Structure 1
Amino acid sequence: MTDMAETKPAWIVLDIEGTTSSTSSVHVGLYDYARPRLAVWIDTHPDDPEVQDAVAQTRAEAGLPESASTDEVVQVLHDWMDGDVKATPLKSLQGQIWAAGFAEGDLIAHFFPDVPPALRSWHSGGVRLAVFSSGSVKSQQPWFRHSDAGDLAILIEQYFDTVNAGPKREAVSYHRIAGALGCAGDRLLFLSDVPAELDAASQAGWGTTGVRRPGEPSQNADFGAHPTVASFDELTFKES
């Protein structure tokens, strides 16, 4: 738990899964939506460069021949989903499918009840907001735009994923994000439910807070020296 107000950061960078939204809303809601649609999406978008790249990368990473069928490619993608592998081609295809689902009204993003009012309060108080998630930017944007609390994307200025920033457990990714935001690490606060991600951000000179949500996989994780909260309501800031 935080026992005192932290100095107000210039930016708060948010993880999504387990931090702003339940793990089940991603793994059950989004994954179950994308899974049966992967083959159809690939076959109905043969000229889309992003789809072509994702299919080629999947074949290469799985050791499949270039002639491997859609069914063979999709089997690899399903295996990655089952193993929660953060593979870039999978994230790319999922992001496209989810974006279409949100646009069509098939999907609605779910946030913990304390999150929307906190984001609005921080934004109105002059704190700038960004997202860093392993899900593709194309999936992050509609997640915040089409939420059960209205359009939250109007509050978010920047989105980062493992393609434009790098792996979430490596300090270099947080240095890269700090550069993109034009801000020193000590003016940045990263909120995540994964201790290894917080460790990487801390190594890059960022402020960190662990999010220990009741009922989530990281509720009883060892966050080490990182301060923790169970709700965004517990985060208070003092002017620098």
Structure 2
Amino acid sequence: MAIRAILTDIEGTTSSIAFVHEVLFPYARARLPAWLAAHAGEPEVAGQLAATRAEAGLPPEAPLAQVIEVLLGWIDADRKATPLKALQGRLWADGYAAGDFHGHVYADVPPCLRAWQAAGLVLAVYSSGSVQAQQQLFAHTACGDLTPLFSAYFDTRIGHKREPASYTAICAALGLAPAGVLFLSDITEELDAARSAGLATVQLVRDGTPDPQAAHRQVTAFTAIDPYA
């Protein structure tokens, strides 16, 4: 079946791992306690705090200071917890708006995305970061606003990235058969899950040498990807 859509990961695929771990994570960690103290009463934030308590096994009345310690621990452990990702997304939105940083994308990414969209392919994003964080990153790149290129965004609310059911659900949301969707990621386990769900796969190897024994086709840049191959 011909490829009709490209679903892409972000970290290590469109964007540098270093940007996430050396810019975004420290920015959120440094500001999280004061920001939560100021915004904890907002319904959206309160909902994420309640979800944090539930996921961490804390009682509903656990104090904010205890919840903050849990969230900071999750940041340090790079835990893919949905409430943490939602709160980080809010903090990063403030940082983008203030011009504290720009969303990093590799130079080969924007021209390929534009060419694929112009060729009629549907482009979508699937990342552990919240949909808001995904949109903010692509809206504030040094190459300008890339969000008009994407038709859909998915995060861990649809399922975790190493579970085949997540990719089945994404294809259903896109209204496409799995065989018509190409998934791009740097993580073998994510690609394994996508392939198990019937998607085509390509592995990005941005900062190393491709493994000739790899189970997925490997490339070092988007320019080496032919969706129709």
Q: Tell me the TM-score range normalised by the shorter chain.
A: over 0.9
The answer to whether the Cα contact below 8 Å between 1:99 and 1:139 also exists between their aligned partners in 2 is: yes
* 1:69-148 alignment runs, 5 A limit: 69-148=63-142
Compared CA separation, residues 221 and 85, structure 1 to 2 (3 A): farther
Alignment of 1:236 onto 2:226: yes
Cα RMSD over matched residues? 1.9
Paired positions, count: 229
The answer to whether the Cα contact below 8 Å between 1:135 and 1:161 also exists between their aligned partners in 2 is: yes
Of 26, 46, 50, the residue aligned with 2:20 is 26
Deviation at residue 79 of structure 1 after TM alignment:
0.9
Deviation at residue 36 of structure 1 after TM alignment:
1.6
Compared CA separation, residues 200 and 62, structure 1 to 2 (3 A): same
Of 164, 176, 180, the residue aligned with 2:173 is 180
Distance (Å, rounded) in 2 between the aligned partners of 1:89 and 1:221:
35
Structure 1 unaligned spans of 5+: 1-6
Distance (Å, rounded) in 1 between the aligned partners of 2:186 and 2:94:
28
Partner of 2:183: 190
Of 199, 208, 212, the residue aligned with 2:205 is 212
Deviation at residue 56 of structure 1 after TM alignment:
1.5
Residue type at the aligned position of 1:202 = R
1:114-162 Cα offsets, whole Å, 9 max, x none, are 1111111111111111000000001000110100111111101100000
SS in 2 for 1:13: strand
| Higher RCO structure (Cα 8 Å, ≥6 apart) | 1
Residue type at the aligned position of 1:59 = R
Task: Indicate the percent of aligned positions where both proteins have the same amino acid.
Answer: 49
Residue type at the aligned position of 2:81 = A
Which one has the bigger helix percentage?
Answer: 2
Residue type at the aligned position of 1:229 = V
Deviation at residue 105 of structure 1 after TM alignment:
2.0
Deviation at residue 222 of structure 1 after TM alignment:
8.6
Deviation at residue 220 of structure 1 after TM alignment:
6.1
SS in 1 for 2:33: helix
Structure 2 unaligned spans of 5+: none
Query: Please, what TM-score do these two structures have when normalized by structure 1?
Result: 0.89
Of 208, 214, 219, the residue aligned with 1:224 is 214
Query: Please, what TM-score do these two structures have when normalized by structure 2?
Result: 0.93
